[in-house]
Amino acid sequence: MINNRISPRTQSIVFIGFMGVGKTTIGQLVAKKLYRDFIDIDQEIEKEYNMPTTEIFKKIGEKAFREKEKSLIEHFSQQPLKIISVGGGAFLQEEIRKICLANCTVFFLDLSWEYWKDRISLIIDSRPVLQGRTLEEIEELFNNRQEIYSYHHSKVKTDGLDVEEVADYIVESLKVTWDIRE
């Protein structure tokens, strides 16, 4: 469903990118700077099922997780003034891509493999898609997903930047875009 009634200044903002690139952390900072509500789709799913994502994948399955993910993204993307972080695999679903691109401003947080692999020890336990894979398999997954992240409105290269710098850049670029459109 597409909501054409929301102006660019008030439409929600969606952060996409591979797991562990900082969508939640940066999204929270941008939300604070723009005085908007922050929604992490994975956390919303965990609240609904009352268990972590890894348990949801084991007990209920990835298919049920992806269906719930689509439903929540569709709901929140049609509301104004939200900052939404979607899971690294959400954009694998064409319907989710279309919903987000039609209703929101989509930012791709682009972190290179060289920078990303330094984070693996911090995130592997909480990411069911990474568990049981070799570093080479994870790199292949990382590279394969880059194509789905090419569907966005704006890309931010985050290599070597801290989260404050990225959030400030995003806020400033949005303000410039909003001023141009008015």
Q: Which residues are annotated as a binding site for substrate?
A: 42, 66, 88, 145
Find the radius of gyration of the CA atoms of the chain: 16
Which pair of tokens denotes residue 111?
């972190």
CA distance 160 to 63: 35
Q: Which residues are annotated as a binding site?
A: 20-25, 42, 66, 88, 127, 145
Considering only CA atoms, which of 86, 85, 80, 108 is closest in space to residue 9?
Answer: 80
Q: Which residues are annotated as a binding site for Mg(2+)?
A: 24
Identify the helix (H) or strand (E) that includes residue 106: strand 105-110
- 55's CB contacts (< 8 A; 6+ apart) are 49
Q: Which residues are annotated as a binding site for ATP?
A: 20-25, 127
Listed as own residue / partner, the contacts of 72-76 with beta carbons closer than 8 Å and 24 or more positions apart are 72/41, 72/44, 72/45, 73/14, 73/41, 73/99, 73/100, 74/1, 74/99, 76/12, 76/39, 76/41
CB 113 within 8 A of CB 21: no
SS3 content of the chain, % helix, strand, coil (to 5): 55, 10, 30
